[in-house]
Amino acid sequence: MEVDRYERYWMWAATGMLVLFLGAIVLTALAGSAHPPSHVETIDPETLSIRGEFAAPGVTPRADGGVTVSMRAEMYVFRPEVIRVPAGTPVTFRITSPDVLHGFQIVGTNINVTVAPGYVSEVTTTFRRPGEYLVVCNEYCGLAHHLMQGKVIVEGAP
C-alpha cells in the first residue's frame, strides 16, 4: 500500500506522542508512587457524625506500632484540623465525608485522595521528614471551599 510521505511522517509523529504520553503516565506511576483507587469501604454518611469511628475523629496508635488517623472532611473543615503524627512510622489516614465531595491533599507529599460521602478513603504513608504539612481540599465543595484547610504536624523521634 502506498502512503503519502507527509502522511507517513504524521503517522509516526502521532505514534511517537502516544508512546511519550503513555510513558509519562507509567514513569510517574512508578517513580512518584501514584496509585489508582483501590480501597472500597462504604459507610452511612447520615450517622457517621453520631456514632462509630468518625464520631470522635483523631489519631489512634495501633498494635503494630503505626497510627491510624480517622478524619471527617466536611463543609468547610477537616476534623481534626490539626493532626500530630510521629515521623518514621506508618500512618494510615481514614477519611470520609458526611455531606459532599471533598479532596484531601497533603502538600509536598504524594497523598492526594478524593473523599466521597458514603465511602471511606484510606491511604497509608510514612513521613520521613518532621515538620508541618499543609492539608488542602482540592475538590470544589461550596462557597467557602478556599478556606478548607488543615495541618499535619510530623514530630521527630524523641
Residues at the contact surface with Cu ion, assessed by CB under 5 A: 137, 141, 145, 148
Minimum Å gap between C-beta 22 and Cu ion is 31
**Of 113 and 148, CB closest to Cu ion:** 148
Question: Between residues 84 and 145, which has the closer beta carbon with respect to Cu ion?
Answer: 145
Minimum CB–partner distance for residue 156 and Cu ion (Å): 31
Q: How far is the CB of 112 from Cu ion (least distance, A)?
A: 13
Which residues are paired to 96 by β-bridges? 72
| Complex with Cu ion: residue 67 or 116, whichever CB lies closer | 116
Q: How many helices (H) and strands (E) does the chain have?
A: 1, 10
Residue 132 buriedness (CB in 10 A; 0-12 / 13-18 / 19+) = exposed
Q: What are the two backbone dihedrals, phi and then psi, of residue 37, each rounded to the nearest 5 degrees?
A: -55, 135
Minimum CB separation from Cu ion for residue 126, in Å?
A: 26
d(CA 129, CA 109): 11
> Toward Cu ion, which CB reaches closer, 111 or 141?
141
